[in-house]
Amino acid sequence: MDRLTELRLFHKRAAREAPAGSMEGNQHDGTQAAMKTVINAAYGYLGATSMALFADLEAANEVTRRGRALLDSLLASLRERGMVPIEADTDGVYFAVPSEWGEEQERALVSQVGATLPDGVKLEYEARYGAMLSHAIKNYALLTYSGEVIVRGAAMRSSRSEPYGERFLRQALRCVMQGDLVGVAQGYQDTLRALRTRSLPASDVATRFRLSKDAQTYLAGRARQKEAQYEALLLAGRRQWKSGEHVRFYRASTGTPVWLPDDIDDISPLEDAEEDSGETMRVAPPSSALGRSPDLPAYDSDYYQQVLLNSYAERLRVALEPEDFLQLFRLDAQTSFFDRPVEQMHVRWIRYASEVSGVEEQG
């Protein structure tokens, strides 16, 4: 494992030094990623108890203990130097630095903190960002200095997300990380209005699902449990499909699932290449009504308004004061006499200053 770790770090450095998008860089990056998987699997194997021939639960627990102690030491070193940790796990730490700092000062800090770590453990400066929204551990959004929104974590995005929701969330995340709550409120109300009037096509509310059961398997167990993605196909008259096939469907106003073939208002939540990557969020623009089948049942407007609130707006809760969140994200258009102007609301920043930097723990 020591040798494999050394090789992984070598390939990671080589990938970073290679020309962007080059075959050489991709090869090094793929190699280091594969090695990381093997290294992590070795730790998991140790803790597999009776399922693994050479398992060693005591050794696995010791790895965990040392990892936590190392992370605690890293956080303490940052705090001693006046930095403000935002999120930390075994992969790395995001922390706030003074607003007047540049990359050179940040790198110097990382070198100083790295010098306090034990032999064999290296601290690497990964990147710097203008802002970060930390929804949960390993689920967050980053705003680069060029204005790009990067979203990571299964709780923040999914290949099954509806396009209208992803589009709203992407715009809202950018506004929140720029401190523009007026823009957040406007985007939310615009999306609610579009859902109420059904001015969005059915493809904008449809979810894309990868089937895990073929027709024979699903029909054999259908009496015990019905699943929307398969019921949508059956209601459309389909009796055959294969495991691994992608289907789109949405909920009609009657509550029934409706299959949406890809040749109708073809818009996907994610590009195929991004489906499992968990990296940068890219969402197709709203499709026009042109090409929409007149035979499609109307979608359940009330249901998708609830989804907008509970599945998308909810991810912004950590950035707002509780009373501000409740005022901004209502399902009705009613205002209260006690509402305060959105212009007076503020994002809840965790910061020493306005900058956010990232480091990644190596080894």
158 vs 154: CA distance, rounded Å: 6
Residue pointed to by tokens 């910061």:
351
SS3 for 208? Answer: strand
Rg (CA), the chain: 24
Give the number of other CB atoms < 10 A from CB of residue 9.
16
CA dihedral for 345, 350, 351, 357, sign (positive or negative): negative
DSSP 299: B
Instruction: Report, in this order, helix, strand and coil percent for the chain, each rounded to 5.
Output: 45, 15, 40
**DSSP assignment of 57-69:** HHHHHHHHHHHHH
Domain boundaries, the chain: 163-344
The rounded distance, in Å, linking the Cα atoms of 233 and 179 is: 44
- Asked if 97 and 338 count as a contact pair (C-beta separation under 8 A), the reply is no
* Pairwise CA distance, residues 356 & 50, whole Å: 44
Cβ(138)–Cβ(151) under 8 Å? no
Find, among 1, 72, 65, the residue nearest to 35 by Cα.
1
CB 298 within 8 A of CB 256: no
Please, how many CA atoms are within 13 Å of residue 30, restricted to the half-sphere of its CB? 7
> What's the predicted TM-score (pTM) here?
0.79
Domain covering 163-344 assigned CATH 1.10.132 in the classification: yes
pLDDT for the residue 359: 60
Strand partners, 151: 141
Q: How far is CA 361 from CA 36, 58, 81, 92, 155, in A?
A: 13, 24, 18, 5, 23
Quick one: how many helices (H) and strands (E) in the chain?
11, 10
Per-residue pLDDT of the chain (363 residues; tens, 9 = 90+): 889 989 998 999 999 899 988 999 999 999 999 999 999 899 889 988 888 888 999 999 998 999 899 999 999 999 999 899 988 887 789 999 988 899 999 999 999 999 988 887 888 898 899 999 999 888 999 999 999 999 998 888 888 899 999 999 999 999 999 999 999 999 999 999 999 999 999 999 999 999 999 999 999 999 999 999 999 999 999 999 999 999 999 999 999 999 999 877 544 444 333 333 444 444 444 444 333 445 789 999 999 999 999 999 999 999 999 999 999 999 886 777 778 899 999 999 887 644 566 665 543
Given this model, what pLDDT does residue 287 score? 42
Write down the pLDDT at residue 356: 60
